Structure 1
Amino acid sequence: MNINPIIRSVLSHLRGQTIRSFLVVLPDRSRIEKQLKLEELITERGVLDMRSHELSIQQKRVEANLTDLTRCIRGMEFDLKVNSHLENKENKEPRGSTASHVAPPSDKKSPKVGDFSE
């Protein structure tokens, strides 16, 4: 029910300035509700933007930690391969006598430095 037409009809019948000066015109309720809803949505959007920014920072931190972890794992794998090759060489040397040590055949290619493919 809209009260505005009733108030307008009463005011049009009563042309006196005294009554009009004491009346308070209330704003439209639906307009106020729309403005409040719009302000609420703007505030919620701001909160969501801040949360999105925080999550993107956390994601970058996790990615950096994952990169560091991957580097550490690869470094450990490299160390294990190097140590296993050194242990294999040390284990092979004591078997043969040092006097009868024969040079390795020259037809075999020497491995490149850093080549630990198996």
Structure 2
Amino acid sequence: MKEVKAYIKHQRVNQVIEALEREGFTDMTLIDVRGITSGLHEEAYKYSLELAQKYMDVIKLELVCADGQAKKAAAIIAQAAHTGRQGDGLVFVTPVEAIVRIKTGEKGNAAMEPEK
């Protein structure tokens, strides 16, 4: 299993979720976070008040999927979140060592299956 994490702009969240859902990715978590960034170079401050500040409000999206689906999920997120401007975000894919469904104690892939 893999965990796909993405930090994206608030204004792109709906596009990202809709694109993921169209491809069958339906279980995910969204969290409001503040990213710390170096901001823009001094000469670019006049062009963007949002990107000139050190702290940016962004959405952290998390989903867990099968190993073979992670690249697809990452690509969908990157495409749907893309605006071509600085601060579009980042996507990370990392291995998941273990999964346990708290209610039933199921582990691994069985814990990821919908409950009956």
| Structure of higher RCO (CA pairs closer than 8 Å, 6+ residues apart) | 2
> Do they superpose with TM above 0.5?
no
Indicate the TM-score class for this superposition, using the shorter chain for normalisation. Answer: under 0.3
Higher strand share: 2
Structure-1-length-normalised TM-score: 0.16
TM normalised by structure 2 equals 0.16
Structure having the larger proportion of residues in helix: 1
